[in-house]
Amino acid sequence: MARSSNLSSRSKVLVRRETRSAYLFLLPNMVFFIGFVVIPMILCIYTSFFDSTMGKDAKDIFIGFKNYAELWKDKIFLRSLKNTFVIVIVSVPAVCIFSLWVSAVIYKLKGPILSTFRCVFYLPVVTGSVAVTVVWKWMYNNYYGIFNYVGKGLGLIDKNINWLGDERFALWCIILILFTTSVGQPIVLYVSALGNVDTSLVEASEVDGATHFQQFWKIKWPLIMPTTLYILVITTINSFQCFALIQLLTSGGPNHSTDTVMYYIYYSAFKLYRYGYGNAMGVVLAIFIALLSALQFKLAKEK
Amino acid sequence: MNSDVKRTGIYKTISLIILVILAILFAFPLYWIVTGAFKTAASINATSPDWFPKEWVLDNFRKLFSKQTAPLWELGIPFSSKFTEDGNPIIFTAGPVVPAAIRWLVNTVFMAVMAMVLTCITAAMAGYALAKKRFKGQHLLFTLIVCAMALPKQVILIPLLREMSSLSLYNTIWAVIFPTVGWPFGVFLMKQFSEGVPGEMLEAARIDGAGEAKTFINIVLPMIKPGIGALAIFTFINSWNDYFMQLIMLNSTSKLTISLGIAKLQAENSTDFGLIMAGATLAAVPIIAIFIAFQKYFTQGIAMGAVKG
């Protein structure tokens, strides 16, 4: 009896010591994580219930759910929500399919060739959103851009098009740039996932006379499913966050045809100084992303 | 069987040809930036573009470096305004007066290196604790980290701005660095790598009488080195290329980063493409060189982080 209590008190000391050292190891990171991520998150939700503006003597006034109610009557917000969904619905499947195809072609190539291809498709990511955006702005330019030159040269268009200034094209122009800057990471992930597929399984299916197509769908596809899921989630989050492109290329114009939720948050908060309203949009956006991620997880699990 | 082999051979050749064309298209914007930076004004504004610069000139760079000047180095001590008598922050300046573009580059390097070093140290420690220690609140903390990772970073920028201005960090480089360090991806990645450290080794070190710090430095760190390398390069590139946070947190000309600098050039000279491309070259070339040099660690790191997650 005495021995066991002695033991348990000793193990208690050990547990306490382990807990203390764990907290010490966590401390430096937690200062930044809690201070600059968790607290702002809580403040974001909190401020979304206030009519909050920035100013010397401006006071936050509690207005309950009024910001949220206003959102659903705000035509610009609804338009930006629609644009955001168009971007996500077009770019996420396009990025996934394209990167899977590229990876399937390159993953068996020799080391240096493989890494060259991988590097080239990663270039637009590394170049940085601002540098990429300014060069595309030049390429789309009405007078000096190569798109009009090549388009006319190939006979695809008969007169110069103001790509970014035309409501019909502006959003698609942005989706194209977003696409080129989004496939880099998925390709890296797919190449490594396909490289990890157990070759004995593939060989066994070859002996059984499976075609390449069958091999892919019946053996490789299920095995790389976790990677696909991860790619779906990160691409969705990335597409929702599309901001630099819009701010630098069109500022949401023409006629709000390229407004996204992220841009409209920026516009409301930093151009109109409506912080509370911007935060309410942020909360709605976060809920959409969470719902979509959960849905993707669920679908993938069922399969 | 034979025709099947032939068909896949043809299919492979066609795919490779398409792939090479696509690769050229993907590399083209970068080519256009760099060649554009060295073209003459006449060549840039020609209606039929010069695919290759007929003559290489430095005019654009000369123009870029002729704009505003600032001291080479300026370091504000974070939170120092809370302790000085006049309420102004303590700022050190050093170095000769240089063009603003050089200063932007110095700011960017400082920001990216600082974010990288702080992230790696704190994330390695926290990741180790999460993976190898048992403590109260562990499950809750990990859930919080995963949830925070899935949320869009930009959503928290509005409250972050107000927090920074109440801490008097607004318009200092620290306002960009601190939230980057707090972003939980690093901890998540380091946790994945630390899981691979065998518990027996830690136990053996403990029996040998090694303290916590010693165990971490001598046993854990060497084993998670590849992960730290990946995290370092990842953080460096991301913070170099980030735009939104910098846009909101920084505003005076001498404090801009290279991303903001180019955006400013574009806003002020929207059709001087040569000048803008010179700025873009200055931003893109160093980071691409770094990426190519450390490519291996980077791709390994991304892949491992995801597979294990």
Q: Is B97 helix (H, G, I), strand (E, B) or coil?
A: strand
User: Between chain A and chain B, how many beta carbons pairs sit less than 8 Å apart?
Assistant: 269
In angstroms, what separates the C-alpha of A111 from chain B's closest C-alpha? 11
First-residue to last-residue Cα distance in chain B:
41
The verdict on a CB contact (< 8 Å) between B182 and A138 is no
Residue A215 has pLDDT above 90, yes or no: no
Q: Give chain B's mean pLDDT.
A: 86
- Asked if residues A223 and A229 have their Cβ atoms less than 8 Å apart, the reply is no
Chain segment A118-143, per-residue pLDDT in tens = 899 999 989 988 999 999 999 998 88
8 A C-beta contact, residue A64 and residue A49: yes
Give the closest residue to B241 by CA, choosing from B178, B307, B180, B172.
B180
E strands within chain A? 50-51, 61-62
The Cβ of residue B50 has, within 10 Å, a number of other Cβ atoms equal to: 15
Closest CA to B254 of B244, B245, B264: B264
Q: Which residue has the tokens 């998150």?
A: A41
The answer, for A186 touching chain B at a CB cutoff of 8 Å, is: no
**Model confidence pLDDT, tens digit, residues B19-57:** 999 999 999 999 999 999 999 888 888 777 888 888 888
User: Which residues from B are below 8 Å from A131, CB to CB?
Assistant: 33, 259, 262, 280, 283-284
pTM: 0.88
CA distance linking residue B299 with residue B71, whole number of Å? 37
Between CA B178 and CA B180, with CA B179 as vertex, the angle to 5 degrees is 90
Q: Which amino acid is at A192?
A: S
* Span B171-204, pLDDT tens digits: 889 999 999 999 998 998 899 889 888 888 888 8
SS3 for B75? strand
Evaluate if residue A7 carries a pLDDT over 70: no
Cα(B261)–Cα(A108) distance, integer angstroms: 42
A272 in reach of chain B (CB within 8 A): no
Calculate the alpha carbon distances from B22 to A117, A177, A192, A292, B16 in Å: 10, 14, 21, 31, 10
Q: Smallest CA–CA separation between B23 and chain A, in Å?
A: 6
Q: Which pLDDT score is estimated for B111?
A: 95
Mutate to test the interface with B, among A46, A138, A162 (most CBs of B within 10 A): A138
Res. B222: pLDDT tops 70: yes
Please provide the distance, in angstroms rounded to a whole number, between the alpha carbons at the two ends of chain A: 54
Q: Is the ipTM of this complex over 0.90?
A: no
- The percent of residues in chain B predicted with pLDDT above 70, rounded, is 96
pLDDT digits (tens, 9 = 90+) for A257-284: 899 999 999 999 888 888 889 999 999 9
Place of tokens 């695919």: B51
User: Chain B within 8 Å of A284 (Cβ-Cβ)?
Assistant: no
What residues of B are in contact with residue A117 (Cβ under 8 Å)?
19, 23
Segment B61-112, tens digit of pLDDT: 988 888 777 777 777 777 777 777 776 777 777 777 788 888 889 999 999 9
- Rounded average pLDDT over A75-84: 93
What gap in Å lies between CA A131 and CA B32, rounded to an integer? 11
- pLDDT band for position A13 (cuts 50, 70, 90): confident
The token pair at B251 is 């505003």
A64 phi/psi in degrees, rounded to 5: 60, -130
Q: Note which residues in 42-101 of chain A have CB less than 8 A from chain B.
A: 43-44, 47, 54
Q: Pseudo-torsion of CA B295, B301, B307, B309, nearest 10°?
A: -150
Looking at residues B100-128, what average pLDDT do you find? Answer: 93
